[in-house]
Amino acid sequence: MERTLYVINPNSTQAVTDAFDAGLAPLRVPGGPRIECLTLREGPPGIQTQLDVESVTLPLVRMVQGLDREHGAAAAGYVIACFSDPGLHAVREATSKPVLGISECGVLTAMTQGQRVGVIAILRQSIPRHGRMFGAMGVAGRIAAELPLGLGVVELADADRTRARLADVGRQLRDTHQADVIVLGCAGMAAYREWLQAELGLPVVEPTQAATGMAIARILLDSAAR
């Protein structure tokens, strides 16, 4: 039986799904689960507000329940690919499969690559929401700072502008806030990871990759346990 890990973009912007899908290529290996990236069609174009977050939690639960029902054990696990980890704990209740959030996994993975974690948010308004999440996770003391790009999810399509802002904000995190590892606070920036890493001379964590990596391990271990 082929097992599939579903990586779900809770926003409806296919370009974001495509961006992290491409970033997951290295994690697609013969013996591992299939990795299928899905877009929540009924989601908003971007998750920018708390209302956006709440608007996708039940749809995510239903989507996961539907996949579970349709595929049974072949649906092996789920990643919620939005840096606000919408519905994470509700989805965990709704399925017995591993469910990972990219915010939690991005930060936890960064904690193995540096001592002071800098986070690059897309929008300033998300930072208090992320702060609540870091507090809930009990890791607020490891966050050097979170700074915003000040770009909309859609604006990220302008690669030059995005690069310029990423480098600028990354340098601020490194030089002013002493971050020694950077987390990209968004699901759609995989293509910039290696470039930014080289630019800053610091490890950069792409959180969808981080969560997918942790999910794959969980799936392999769970499958063996059956």
157/191 with CB nearer a second copy: 191
According to CB under 8 A, which residues from 171 to 200 bind a second copy? Answer: 178, 180, 194
Told to check if 61 binds a second copy by CB under 8 A, we report yes
Q: What is the DSSP letter of 156?
A: G
Q: Which of 114, 118, 185, 207 binds a second copy (CB under 8 A)?
A: 114
Q: How far apart are CA 154 and CA 35, in angstroms?
A: 25
- Of 2-10, 34-42, 68-76, 206-214, the segment contacting a second copy by CB under 8 A is 206-214
Phi, psi at 79, each rounded to 5° = -120, 130
Strands 4-9 and 34-39: parallel
Told to check if 62 binds a second copy by CB under 8 A, we report no
17 contacts 39 by C-beta, under 8 angstroms: yes
Q: Which three-class secondary structure string do you get for 22-33?
A: HHCHHHCCCCCC
For 104, the 3-state DSSP assignment is helix
Q: What is the DSSP letter of 46?
A: S
Q: How far apart are CA 155 and CA 209, in angstroms?
A: 22
Task: Build a one-symbol-per-residue string for 139-168: x at contacts with a second copy by CB under 8 A, - elsewhere.
Answer: xxxx--------------------------
Positions that interact with a second copy (CB under 8 A): 25-32, 49-51, 53-55, 57-58, 61, 87, 89-90, 92-94, 100-101, 104-105, 108-109, 111-112, 114-116, 127-129, 131-133, 135-142, 178, 180, 194, 209-210, 212-214, 216-218, 220-221, 223-225
